[in-house]
């Protein structure tokens, strides 16, 4: 072998330096093209006509209403999902019952359903031409083409986020700390508040963070159920679509830049959590 004549300093578990450099280059180039370039384009297009135009486009009535609506939807959907996630994780990890695996599968179901199909399902259940929907509309509680429908669609697509994060963490932590609290006389609620919650807080925050990012940005499911009524049911992503289709590029990209900035903040917080509390998160230990 010609290799034998070359001096090698690498250990048995390393690749040849050239191969290593090539792999790193492919990884960097791939991410640059696939991830960093789209990210840069969002801000470049938003600032095409300068800062002033970008900021101004976010100040009009429809844009403000869209921002307001997205914050409102997120403020309802995320806590709803956190409550569900905690309840589901408690039920699944603190009790033994038949059909547990099936229940977990059902909770994961929304991950494999297209957001558009999710929206369709909600329209079929609560739309004006369904039995439930027409009754609700007649009593002044429209779901579809209204805020409740958007909330429902958002909760659907983010459904497993918190539960999936909490379940592995709570399985690993076991039940004995809660049992100890109970034997010391603590009530169920007190046990949850003083023993369970401190142990799962970082995992809960992590799951909530992922849930928030997805809730603010959900498009497909909301596009179907919202009816896209300007100033009323148009969320930020829907407004981006409407502006883009009207060739209002700067306005569309300005709103996109705002959502992107929020996404970057999410990513930063998520990375910080992973660095500081890796041992208490499921995601960083998932096998």
Partner 1 sequence: MTMAARPLVHKTAMPGLGLSAGITIAMLSIVVLLPIGALLLKGASFGLTNVLDVVGRERVMASLYLSFKLSLLAALFNLVFGVLLAWVLVRYRFPGKRILDAAVDLPFALPTAVAGIALTALYAPNGAFGSLAQQVGLKIAYTQAGIFIALVFVGLPFVTRTVQPVIEEIEQEVEEASATLGASRLHTLRHVILPMLAPAALTGFALSLARAVGEYGSVIFIAGNIPLRTEIAPLLIVIQLEEFNYDAAAAIGIAMLVISFAMLLAINLIQIVSRRKMGHV
Partner 2 sequence: MHIDIDEIAKTFGATTALHPVSLSIPSGALVALLGPSGSGKTTLLRILGGLEFPTSGRVMFNGQDATGMTVQERRAGFVFQSYALFRHMTVFDNIAYGLRARPRGQRPPKAEITRRVTKLLDLIQLPDIASRYPTQLSGGQRQRVALARALAIEPRMLLLDEPFGALDAKVRKELRQGLRDIHDETGLTTVFVTHDQDEAMELADLVVVMSMGRIEQIGRPQDIRGKPATEFVRDFISA
Q: Which of residues 227-286 bind partner 1 (CB under 8 A)?
A: 236-238, 240-241, 244, 252-253, 256, 259-260, 263-264, 266-268, 270-271, 283-286
Cα dihedral: 71, 76, 82, 85 (round 10) = -120
Distance CA 52, CA 44 (A): 14
| Binding of partner 2 by 199 (CB under 8 A) | yes
Sign of CA dihedral 73, 74, 79, 82: positive
Write each residue from 7 to 46 as x if it is in contact with partner 2 (CB under 8 A), else as -, in one continuous string: ----------------------------------------
By beta-carbon proximity to partner 2, the closer residue of 134 and 187 is 187
Q: Is 227 left (phi over 0), alpha (psi -120 to 50) or beta?
A: left
95 contact, one of partner 2, partner 1, none, CB 5-8 Å limit per kind = partner 1
Residue 202 or 250: which CB sits closer to partner 1?
250
Calpha distance 238→232 (Å, rounded): 11
Nearest Cα residue to 236 out of 22, 118, 61, 70: 70
Q: At its nearest, how many Å lie between partner 1 and the CB of residue 61?
A: 21
Minimum CB separation of residue 144 from partner 2 in Å reads 44
Q: Which of residues 84-103 bind partner 2 (CB under 8 A)?
A: 96
Distance CA 241, CA 228 (A): 10
Query: Pick from 9, 61, 98, 101: which binds partner 1 (CB under 8 A)?
Result: 98
Give every CB contact of residue 65 below 8 A, 6+ residues apart in sequence.
231, 232, 234
Print burial letters for 124-134: b (CB count within 10 Å at least 16), e (below 16): eebbeebeebe
Tell me which of partner 2, partner 1, none is bound by residue 266, counting a contact when its beta carbon lies within the kind-specific cut-off of 5 to 8 angstroms: partner 1
In 3D space, the residue among 281, 88, 70 whose CA is nearest the CA of residue 173 turns out to be: 281
For CA atoms 54, 222, 68, 82, give the dihedral sign.
negative
Interactions with partner 2, residue window 123-182 (CB under 8 A): 176-177, 179-182
* Nearest distance, CB of residue 20 and partner 1, angstroms: 6
Q: Which of 63, 122, 150, 211 binds partner 1 (CB under 8 A)?
A: 122
Enumerate residues 175-234 that contact partner 1 by CB under 8 A. 175, 178-179, 182, 187-189, 191-192, 210, 213-214, 216-220, 223-224
Instruction: Give the count of beta carbons closer than 10 Å to the beta carbon of residue 48.
Output: 13
Provide the minimum distance between the beta carbon of 26 and partner 1 in the complex, in angstroms, as a whole number: 6
| Chain residues that interact with partner 2, rule: CB under 8 A | 96, 176-177, 179-187, 190, 194-195, 198-199
């Amino acid at each position: 072998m010609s290799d034998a004549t070359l001096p090698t300093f690498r250990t048995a578990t390393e690749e040849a330096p050239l191969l290593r450099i090539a792999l790193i280059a492919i990884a960097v180039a791939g991410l640059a093209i696939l991830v960093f370039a789209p990210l840069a384009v969002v801000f470049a297009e938003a600032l095409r006509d300068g800062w002033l135009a970008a900021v101004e486009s976010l100040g009009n009535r429809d844009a403000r209403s869209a921002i307001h609506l997205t914050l409102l939807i997120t403020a309802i959907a995320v806590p709803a999902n956190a409550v569900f996630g905690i309840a589901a994780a408690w039920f699944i990890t603190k009790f033994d019952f038949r059909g547990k695996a099936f229940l977990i599968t059902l909770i994961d179901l929304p991950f494999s359903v297209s957001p558009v199909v999710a929206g369709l399902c909600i329209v079929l259940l609560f739309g004006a031409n369904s039995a439930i929907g027409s009754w609700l509309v007649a009593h002044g509680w429209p779901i579809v083409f209204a805020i409740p429908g958007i909330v429902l669609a958002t909760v659907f697509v983010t459904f497993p986020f918190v539960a999936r994060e909490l379940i592995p963490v709570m399985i690993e932590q076991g039940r004995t700390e809660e049992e100890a609290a109970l034997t010391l006389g603590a009530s169920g609620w007190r046990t949850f508040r003083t023993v369970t919650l401190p142990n799962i807080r970082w995992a809960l925050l992590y799951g909530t963070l992922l849930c928030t990012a997805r809730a603010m940005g959900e498009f497909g499911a909301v596009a179907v159920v919202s009816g896209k009524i300007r100033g009323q049911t148009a969320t930020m992503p829907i407004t981006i679509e409407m502006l883009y289709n009207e060739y209002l590029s700067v306005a569309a990209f300005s709103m996109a830049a705002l959502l992107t900035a929020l996404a970057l903040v999410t990513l930063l917080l998520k990375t910080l959590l992973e660095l500081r509390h890796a041992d208490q998160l499921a995601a960083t230990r998932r096998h």
